[in-house]
């Protein structure tokens, strides 16, 4: 579960496609002459720092990225010179400057700010946490959130938090929007694991669930990521039908039963998704 994100997933790709007239076939392969390997390696070093590894030595970065020590050292020192990393004795860690990368995305995609009041209104009505997320690879990234007073998970969820898409309601709603080819690729590459005894660990079973989500237009995930965590999500679109992401309500299973989730929370989400569609363009 990471909170630092360089967001470049399928929905950001859709944004670039619409803005610049590009399509997925324009994406470079690593062996293409225009592919800048050094840039890719530098970003890989940045992304190596996460909640589990906030401070690392040169050797630890080299081991985590699979680079040799000399290569990892050059990237670490360059990122240190650019103020993206700070160095204390043998250890490196991220600086606040990396937030500029995520801030640029949020600034361009101002719909996150526009959707925030709808999230806050739901939290006021039901006293539960609500969020807006997008898909980035096999993770869902939080780009707006309204937190209730009670805490749901061991970690503090916030803008930039990344969770496995296969085990979250927002992730499943977004995965259900993928094309058949994109979904096939995802299911072949994703690493399914048992976070709880309820977690789906079979790709065929997950495919079936995602098909149900696509047909019904919403997803409910009951304690598959964290025991006691229950959530419901729906997709959100703009006036032109462009997929913006997904919004969800997350709650504690001991406090909110499935009937309440389906009969009260789901209609509220659907109502807000409709209002967002009319407001965002």
How do the pLDDT tens digits run along the chain, 281 residues long?
444 443 444 444 444 444 334 444 567 788 888 888 899 999 999 989 987 889 999 999 999 999 999 999 999 999 999 999 999 889 999 988 887 776 656 554 567 778 899 999 999 999 999 999 988 888 898 888 998 887 665 557 778 788 999 999 999 999 999 999 999 999 998 889 999 889 899 999 999 999 999 999 999 999 999 888 899 999 999 888 889 899 999 998 888 889 999 999 999 999 999 999 988 77
Q: What is the model's pLDDT at position 30?
A: 82
3 state SS of 138:
coil
R_g of the chain, CA atoms, integer Å: 20
CA angle, corner 165, sides to 22 and 5, nearest 5? 65
pLDDT for res 98? 82
> According to the model, what pLDDT value does residue 118 have?
93
* Cα–Cα distance measured from residue 4 to residue 49, given in angstroms and rounded to the nearest whole number: 8
Alpha carbons 155 and 1: distance in angstroms, whole number:
9
Q: Which pLDDT belongs to residue 8?
A: 40
d(CA 165, CA 183): 12
Measured distance CA(123)–CA(207) in Å, rounded: 31
Query: Which residues share a beta bridge with 222?
Result: 230
The pLDDT score that the predictor gives to residue 19 is 39
pLDDT at 157: 75
Find all residues with CB under 8 Å of 127, minimum gap 6, and list them.
148, 149
pLDDT given for residue 155 in this prediction: 59
Number of Cβ atoms within 10 Å of the Cβ of 246:
31
What pLDDT is attached to residue 14? 47
CB neighbours (10 Å) of residue 170?
Answer: 29
- Cα 95 → chain centroid: 21
Q: How far apart are CA 170 and CA 245, in angstroms?
A: 8
| The residue to which tokens 């985590």 are assigned | 64
Distance CA 108, CA 145 (A): 18
Q: What is the Cα–Cα distance from 168 to 203, expressed in whole angstroms? A: 15
DSSP reduced 3-state for 183: helix
Give which of 246, 188, 237 is closest to 213, Cα–Cα: 246
Does residue 125 sit in helix, strand or coil?
helix
């Amino acid at each position: 579960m990471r909170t630092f994100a360089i967001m470049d997933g399928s929905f950001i790709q859709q944004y670039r496609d619409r803005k610049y007239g590009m399509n997925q076939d324009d994406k470079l392969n690593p062996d293409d002459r225009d592919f800048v390997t050094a840039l890719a390696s530098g970003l890989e070093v940045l992304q190596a720092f996460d909640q589990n590894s906030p401070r690392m030595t040169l050797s630890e970065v080299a081991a985590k990225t699979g680079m040799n020590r000399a290569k990892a050292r050059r990237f670490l020192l360059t990122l240190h010179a650019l103020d993206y990393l700070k160095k204390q004795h043998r250890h490196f860690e991220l600086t606040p400057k990396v937030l500029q990368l995520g801030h640029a995305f949020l600034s361009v995609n101002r719909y996150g700010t526009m959707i925030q009041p709808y999230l806050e209104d739901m939290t006021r009505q039901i006293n539960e946490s609500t969020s807006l997320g997008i898909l980035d690879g096999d993770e869902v990234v939080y780009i707006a959130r309204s937190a209730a007073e009670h805490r749901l998970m061991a970690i503090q969820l916030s803008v930039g938090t990344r969770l496995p898409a296969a085990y979250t309601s927002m992730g499943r709603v977004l995965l259900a929007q993928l094309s058949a080819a994109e979904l096939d690729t995802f299911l072949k590459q994703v690493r399914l694991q048992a976070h709880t005894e309820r977690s789906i660990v079979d790709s065929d079973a997950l495919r079936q669930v995602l098909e149900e989500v696509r047909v019904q237009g919403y997803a409910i995930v009951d304690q598959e990521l964290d025991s006691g965590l229950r959530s419901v999500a729906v997709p959100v679109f703009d006036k032109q039908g462009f997929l913006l992401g997904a919004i969800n309500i997350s709650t504690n299973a001991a406090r909110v039963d499935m009937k309440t989730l389906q009969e009260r929370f789901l209609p509220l989400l659907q109502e807000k998704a409709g209002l967002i569609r009319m407001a965002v363009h």
